[in-house]
Structure 1
Amino acid sequence: MIYKKDNWNMMSVEVNGKQLIVREISDQWGEESHIFLSRPAMMQWVSERFADDRFDGSEEEREEIIRAFQEV
């Protein structure tokens, strides 16, 4: 679990063999899945998805999310 704000806003990562499956559920967009074949590819996506100028939360929240991805 990367983060969970409520039943409709959460993000998790599942390790399935060589694949990393990121599932993002939001009340606006529904469920979205992203499949990565390497950790560097996933971290590239994370750096784009949670870029400073695109993230709506605080800097501490952003750093906590990025740290959770790094621990996967």
Structure 2
Amino acid sequence: MSNQGFKKHVIYKKDKWNMMNVEVQGTKIILTEITDQWGEESHTFIGRPAMMNWAKERFSKERFTGSEEEWDAIMLAFSEV
């Protein structure tokens, strides 16, 4: 099966072991998170609002360990999906 027409977005990529990618397949959004701590995790969302709700929980400002600029860049990348 060809993946033509699917849009891929990189939310962040620190190295080959720490990254998050999003693939849009119509109304279905597949998010893949790869970390050196937890391995690979996939999440499937039906629509952008569901993904954005997840992103706001996953990257809550209170628990985010990076800089404010990093948080802003991640949230901007999500909003551009």
Normalising by the smaller structure, the TM-score range is over 0.9
2:78 to 56, 64, 69: 69
After superposing on structure 2, the runs of 4+ consecutive aligned residues of structure 1 that deviate more than 3 Å are none
Residue 18 of structure 1: how far off its partner (Å): 1.7
1:43 to 36, 52, 73: 52
Q: Following the alignment from structure 2 to structure 1, what is the Cα–Cα distance between the partners of residues 60 and 26?
A: 28
Structure with max Cα Rg:
2
**Structure 1 alignment gaps of length 5 or more:** none
**Aligned sequence identity (%):** 64
The structure that is strand-richer by fraction is 2
Q: Aligned runs of 1:1-72 on 2, under 5 Å?
A: 1-72=10-81
Deviations 1:12-58 (A, max 9, x none): 00011221001000000000001000101100001000101111100
Residue 62 of structure 1: how far off its partner (Å): 0.3
Residue 68 of structure 1: how far off its partner (Å): 0.3
Q: Following the alignment from structure 2 to structure 1, what is the Cα–Cα distance between the partners of residues 17 and 37?
A: 9
The AA in structure 1 aligned to 2:69 is E
**Structure 2 alignment gaps of length 5 or more:** 1-9
How many pairs were matched up?
Answer: 72
TM-score, normalisation: structure 1: 0.96
TM-score, normalisation: structure 2: 0.86
